Chain A
Amino acid sequence: MADFSWFGAGPIAGQTLRTFGAEVIRVESEAKMDGLRLGQPVPKNEDGTLKSGYNMSGYYNNFNAAKLSFQLNLNTEKGQEVAHRLIEKCDMFLTNFTPRVVKRWNLEWPHLKAINPRLIAAYQPMQGLEGPHRDFLGFGAVLTPVTGFTALSGFPERGPIGVGTNYPDYVINPGHTVVAMLAALRHRNKTGKGQLVELPQVESVVNVLGTAVADYLATGHVQVQDGNRSPIMAPHGAFRCADDPDSLDSEDRWVVIALRNDVLWRAVVDTIGGGAADPKFDTFEGRKAHEAELEALIGTWTRDRKAEDVMEALQSRGVPCGVVQNAQDMLDRDPHIRERGYYRYLDHADTGRSAYDGPAMVLSETPGELDAPAPLFGNDTMDVCERIIGMTSDEIADLMAEGVLM
Chain B
Amino acid sequence: MTERALDGIRIIEFTDFTGAYCGRLLADLGAEVIKVEPPGGGHQRHTPPFYSRLAEPDNSVAFWVHNTSKKSVVIDLESVDGQAEAKRLVLSADAVIEDNPVGWMAARGLGYEALRAGKPALVYVSITGFGQTGPHAAWAYTDIVGQAMGGIMTLAGDPADPPNQLYGNQSDVSASIQAAQGAMLALLHAEATGQGQMVDVSAQESLSMSQETAMMYWDFQRHNRVRTGGKSIIGMELPGLGSYEAKDGYIYCMVLAPAGAEFPELIAWMDEHGMAGPLAEEPYATLVANLNMRFLSQLMVNPESAAALPQQMAVIESHLKAFFAALPAVEIYEEGQRRKLLIGLVSTPRDIAENHQLRARDWFCTFDFGDGNTVEFPGAPYRLSETPVEIGRPPFLGEHTEAILAGLG
Which residues of A from 351 to 368 have beta carbons under 8 Å from B? 351, 354-355, 357-358, 360-366
Binds B, one of A68-76, A81-89, A182-190, A391-399: A182-190
Judge if B268 is at the interface, Cβ distance under 8 Å: no
Give the one of B134, B206, B340 with max A CB within 10 A. B134
B168's contact among A162, A208, A324, by CB below 8 Å, is which?
A: A208
A148's contact among B5, B48, B188, B347, by CB below 8 Å, is which?
A: B347
Of the four ranges (under 10, 10 to 19, 20 to 34, 35 or more), the interface on chain A belongs to 35 or more
Given A172-B174, A216-B353, A152 and B168 contact (CB-CB distance below 8 Å): yes
CA distance A153 to B154 in the complex (A): 14
CB <8 Å contact, A155 and B349: no
Judge if B133 is at the interface, Cβ distance under 8 Å: yes
A320's contact among B21, B141, B220, B360, by CB below 8 Å, is which?
A: B141
CB <8 Å contact, B177 and A171: yes
Given A159-B243, A256-B148, A361-B201, A153 and B349 contact (CB-CB distance below 8 Å): no
Give the one of A171, A172, A339 with max B CB within 10 A. A171
CB <8 Å contact, B3 and A164: no
In the bound complex, residues from chain B placing their C-beta under 8 Å from that of A200 are: 361, 382-383
Contact with B along A37-59 (1 / 0, CB 8 A): 01111111000001000000011
Give the one of B216, B343, B379 with max A CB within 10 A. B216
Secondary structure at chain B's binding surface: helix, strand, loop or mixed?
mixed
A208's contact among B161, B170, B224, B385, by CB below 8 Å, is which?
A: B170
CB <8 Å contact, B145 and A248: no
Binds B, one of A191-199, A283-291, A377-385: A191-199
Judge if A330 is at the interface, Cβ distance under 8 Å: yes
Judge if B204 is at the interface, Cβ distance under 8 Å: yes
- Give the residue name and chain of the B residue nearest to A231 (CB): B48
B383's contact among A161, A185, A198, A215, by CB below 8 Å, is which?
A: A198
In the bound complex, residues from chain A placing their C-beta under 8 Å from that of B202 are: 340, 342, 360, 362
CB <8 Å contact, A149 and B215: no
In the bound complex, residues from chain A placing their C-beta under 8 Å from that of B273 are: none
CA distance A209 to B226 in the complex (A): 25
Of the four ranges (under 10, 10 to 19, 20 to 34, 35 or more), the interface on chain B belongs to 35 or more
CB <8 Å contact, B243 and A59: no
CA distance A234 to B52 in the complex (A): 25
- Give the residue name and chain of the A residue nearest to B146 (CB): A322
B333: shortest Cβ distance to chain A, in Å? Answer: 8
In the bound complex, residues from chain B placing their C-beta under 8 Å from that of A330 are: 150-151, 208, 211, 215, 218
B366: shortest Cβ distance to chain A, in Å? Answer: 10
Contact with B along A325-355 (1 / 0, CB 8 A): 1111111101111011011000000010011
CB <8 Å contact, B185 and A164: no
B198's contact among A161, A197, A249, A364, by CB below 8 Å, is which?
A: A364
B91: shortest Cβ distance to chain A, in Å? Answer: 19
CA distance A258 to B17 in the complex (A): 14
CB <8 Å contact, B156 and A154: yes
CB <8 Å contact, A217 and B376: yes
B149's contact among A158, A179, A208, A323, by CB below 8 Å, is which?
A: A323
CA distance A38 to B259 in the complex (A): 14
Judge if B264 is at the interface, Cβ distance under 8 Å: no
CA distance A56 to B29 in the complex (A): 40
Binds A, one of B77-85, B249-257, B275-283: B249-257
Contact with A along B1-31 (1 / 0, CB 8 A): 0010110000000000000010001000100
25 A-B residue pairs with CB within 8 Å: A41-B213, A127-B357, A143-B344, A145-B252, A149-B166, A152-B168, A154-B164, A158-B157, A171-B206, A178-B184, A180-B382, A187-B386, A199-B383, A202-B355, A211-B62, A228-B165, A256-B153, A258-B145, A315-B136, A331-B218, A336-B134, A336-B136, A339-B133, A342-B202, A363-B198
Across the A-B interface, give the 10 residue pairs with the lowest CB-CB distance, nearest first.
A58-B216, A361-B182, A175-B177, A133-B357, A152-B167, A182-B184, A183-B5, A327-B218, A145-B252, A250-B224
